[in-house]
Amino acid sequence: MKAIIHVNQHIIKANRKNGTTEPVLTVKTYKSNEYGHEVTIEGPSKVIYRPDKPLSCGAHVWIEADYEDVTVWKVKEVGMTVINNQLDLVDYLNKMESRE
């Protein structure tokens, strides 16, 4: 399944204006949108600049990769969470703390 990754300029502006740190990276597939502060691509990918035919969201530059090769990281107050149902480091760290 193809993933399209782009930077949401509207959220960057809103973060500056409001002093927030909402995630600005969007990973889109045909069935979902995921948002993160960091994206890791483990396989082949390509960067596309298409000012004459932007995405429906308005992005003129984006990255295309196979969704299985993409990991989306979202910063939380304590630690980082990997979206894509691979691993939740925050929960893991909390469980490890409770064992001590």
Per-residue pLDDT, 20: 87
93-95-100 Cα angle (round to 5): 95
Distance CA 21, CA 30 (A): 26
Q: Tokens 């960057």 identify what position? A: 12
Q: How many CA atoms lie within 13 A of 26 on its CB side?
A: 19
Mean pLDDT by 10 residues, the chain (100 residues): 94 92 92 91 95 93 94 66 49 57
Per-residue pLDDT, 41: 93
* Domain boundaries along the sequence of the chain: 2-75
Distance CA 88, CA 45 (A): 25
Per-residue pLDDT, 70: 92
